[in-house]
């Protein structure tokens, strides 16, 4: 008795496309929609975290997303209207040209969005360097220029010399140098990612903070390195597509890996803005990540270190002044804040007094060398700026 043919698995609910070995349009459509939705979510979270202090890199991320969304849409249009995701024998001849044009447009938009995403990360790293570090600013600018040249060269490399139909290997047409083109694009792309990560590490390593906090901060930049894996997978599947017998199905993998790389690039570029350790910080005094700038104020003046005894005398004298000016009026005129100190056991101490103009802000504080110093940031500031050009004024009693 002959065995009965295996029954098809049950399908629950309506399906726009049935998944078969010759029709994977459902996979392409689902992934493209998910990437587009997730890109909007990443941009929305970034804007929610930075809407009060939008920087150049944030506007660049908006532009990058503006190119990424049409990239996803072109793939959706090619799938729904032209049949991309099917074997070519099932695609009507009139739709073959539309598939070719949509795939070419998606490749160009992919490279443009990826380039702008890179530049936004490099610009963010540039902002983190102190204003006097001209050589590192120059390194960031050179990297941004290299990214722009890579983008232009990549667009020319994947479009010039091969017709759109030849790129997707439809109607018997092929592009013999397709693998070498994408390999060159991918190798330079990976090198740029390594350079960008190195710039982020160069920002963090010199800071005077614990290595635990340094590693936490560097993670925000090293998270871009997995893009290299996606680049390698794109090259691998382009090579497979170049020799595949069913080119229509084989083309799906490189297209989806490009979309994966694009989405991950947008996500990793937004992580520094979403991360709690880098959202608000200023390393003027070897700052820690994660402080709340609203708790402090900065006068922009010099710091004077004095002995405990003299600080105590200054406090007594200023508080004892009377008359028309009232207690402490002399300090307001001189622009010198009164001193105070703490005497916690087990901590080495020094007295800090902030001198400033009569109408400026001035705050006192104590510091100890048994733990990392609290950061003194600009009031109500969320800018990602590291400043190291601090001037201290130390006076000695004769």
Domain containing 314 equals: 293-318+328-394
**Would you say residue 20 lies in a domain?**
no
pLDDT at 392: 64
Query: Within a 13 Å sphere around the CA of 52, how many CA atoms are in the beta-carbon half?
Result: 8
pLDDT at 18: 80
* Rounded Cα distance, 84 and 78, in Å: 5
pLDDT band at 126 (very low <50, low <70, confident <90, very high): confident
Which of the two residues, 212 and 111, has the higher pLDDT score? 111
Q: Are residues 180 and 237 in the same domain?
A: yes
pLDDT at 104: 94
Q: Are residues 72 and 141 in the same domain?
A: yes
b/e map of 160-171 (b: 16 or more CB within 10 Å)? Answer: eebebbbbbbbe
Top mean-pLDDT range of 14-18, 263-267, 327-331, 393-397: 263-267
**Would you say residue 369 lies in a domain?**
yes
Q: Are residues 265 and 337 in the same domain?
A: no
Q: Are residues 76 and 116 in the same domain?
A: yes
Q: Are residues 33 and 129 in the same domain?
A: yes
Q: Are residues 259 and 211 in the same domain?
A: yes
pLDDT in tens, 249-298: 999 999 999 999 999 999 998 887 776 434 444 444 333 444 343 443 34
What CATH code is carried by the domain that includes residue 219? 1.20.1070
pLDDT at 82: 87
* Rounded Cα distance, 173 and 282, in Å: 58
* Rounded Cα distance, 221 and 342, in Å: 39
Q: Are residues 149 and 246 in the same domain?
A: yes
Top mean-pLDDT range of 269-283, 296-310, 358-372: 269-283
Query: Is residue 354 within a helix (H) or strand (E), and if so which, with residue range?
Result: strand 350-354
pLDDT in tens, 145-158: 999 999 999 999 99
Q: Which of 13-27, 36-50, 211-225, 340-354 has the lowest mean pLDDT?
A: 340-354
Tokens describing residue 163? 């017709």
| Those residues with Cβ within 8 angstroms of residue 195's Cβ, 6 or more apart along the chain or in another chain | 143, 146
What is the rounded radius of gyration, in angstroms, for the C-alpha atoms of the chain? Answer: 30
Total number of domains in the chain? 2
* Cα–Cα nearest to 55, from 218, 325, 272: 272
| Those residues with Cβ within 8 angstroms of residue 15's Cβ, 6 or more apart along the chain or in another chain | 26
Q: Are residues 222 and 336 in the same domain?
A: no
**Would you say residue 286 lies in a domain?**
no
What stretches of the chain show up as alpha helix (H) in DSSP?
A: 25-50, 56-82, 93-128, 134-159, 164-167, 178-204, 211-222, 227-242, 247-250, 252-274, 308-319, 329-334
pLDDT in tens, 55-95: 888 899 999 999 999 999 999 999 998 889 999 888 888 88
**Would you say residue 280 lies in a domain?**
no
Q: Are residues 168 and 269 in the same domain?
A: yes
pLDDT at 154: 95
Q: Are residues 171 and 312 in the same domain?
A: no
**Would you say residue 354 lies in a domain?**
yes
**Would you say residue 298 lies in a domain?**
yes
Other beta carbons within 10 Å of 97: 14
Q: Are residues 87 and 41 in the same domain?
A: yes
Q: Which residues face 303 on adjacent strands?
A: 354, 392
| Those residues with Cβ within 8 angstroms of residue 29's Cβ, 6 or more apart along the chain or in another chain | 16, 17, 76, 79, 80, 85
Answer yes or no: is pLDDT of 127 > 90. Answer: no
Tokens describing residue 150? 């890579």
Answer yes or no: is pLDDT of 45 > 80. Answer: yes
Which of the two residues, 37 and 16, has the higher pLDDT score? 37
pLDDT at 5: 57
**Would you say residue 282 lies in a domain?**
no
Q: State whether residue 351 is helix, strand or coil.
A: strand
pLDDT at 13: 63
| Those residues with Cβ within 8 angstroms of residue 40's Cβ, 6 or more apart along the chain or in another chain | 65, 69
Q: Are residues 305 and 265 in the same domain?
A: no
**Would you say residue 47 lies in a domain?**
yes
Classify residue 84 by its DSSP letter.
Answer: B
């Amino acid at each position: 008795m002959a065995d009965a043919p295996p029954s098809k698995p049950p399908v629950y609910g309506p399906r726009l496309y049935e998944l078969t070995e010759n029709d994977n349009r459902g996979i392409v459509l689902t992934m493209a929609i998910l990437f587009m939705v997730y890109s909007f979510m990443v941009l929305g979270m970034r804007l929610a975290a930075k809407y009060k202090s939008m920087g150049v890199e944030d506007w660049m991320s908006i532009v990058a997303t503006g190119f990424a969304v049409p990239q996803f849409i072109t793939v959706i249009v090619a799938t729904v209207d032209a049949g991309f995701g099917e074997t070519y024998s099932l695609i009507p001849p009139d739709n073959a040209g539309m598939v070719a044009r949509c795939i070419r447009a998606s490749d160009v938009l992919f490279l443009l969005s990826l380039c702008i995403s890179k530049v936004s990360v490099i610009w963010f790293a540039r902002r983190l360097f102190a204003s006097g570090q001209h050589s590192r600013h120059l390194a960031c600018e050179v990297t941004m220029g290299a990214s722009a040249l890579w983008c232009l060269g990549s667009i020319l490399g994947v479009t010039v010399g091969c017709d759109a139909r030849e790129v997707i290997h439809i109607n018997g047409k092929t592009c013999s140098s397709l693998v070498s083109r994408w390999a060159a694009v991918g190798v330079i792309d990976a090198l740029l990612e390594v350079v960008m990560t190195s710039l982020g590490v160069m920002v963090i390593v010199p800071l005077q903070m614990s290595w635990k906090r340094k590693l936490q901060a560097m993670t925000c930049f090293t998270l871009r390195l997995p893009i290299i894996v996606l680049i390698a997978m794109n090259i691998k599947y382009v090579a497979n597509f170049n020799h595949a017998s069913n080119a229509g199905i084989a083309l799906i993998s490189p297209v989806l890996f490009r979309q994966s790389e694009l989405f991950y690039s947008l996500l990793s570029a937004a992580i520094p803005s979403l991360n709690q350790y880098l959202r608000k910080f200023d390393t003027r005094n070897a700052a820690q990540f994660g402080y709340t700038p609203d708790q402090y104020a900065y006068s922009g003046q010099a710091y004077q270190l004095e002995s405990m005894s003299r600080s105590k005398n200054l406090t007594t004298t200023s508080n004892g002044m009377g008359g028309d000016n009232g207690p402490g009026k002399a300090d307001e005129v001189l622009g010198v804040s009164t001193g105070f100190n703490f005497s916690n056991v087990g901590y080495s101490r020094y007295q800090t007094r902030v001198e400033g103009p009569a109408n400026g802000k001035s705050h006192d504080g104590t510091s100890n060398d048994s733990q990392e110093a609290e950061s003194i940031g600009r009031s109500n500031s969320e800018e990602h700026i590291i400043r190291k050009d601090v001037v201290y004024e130390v006076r000695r009693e004769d």
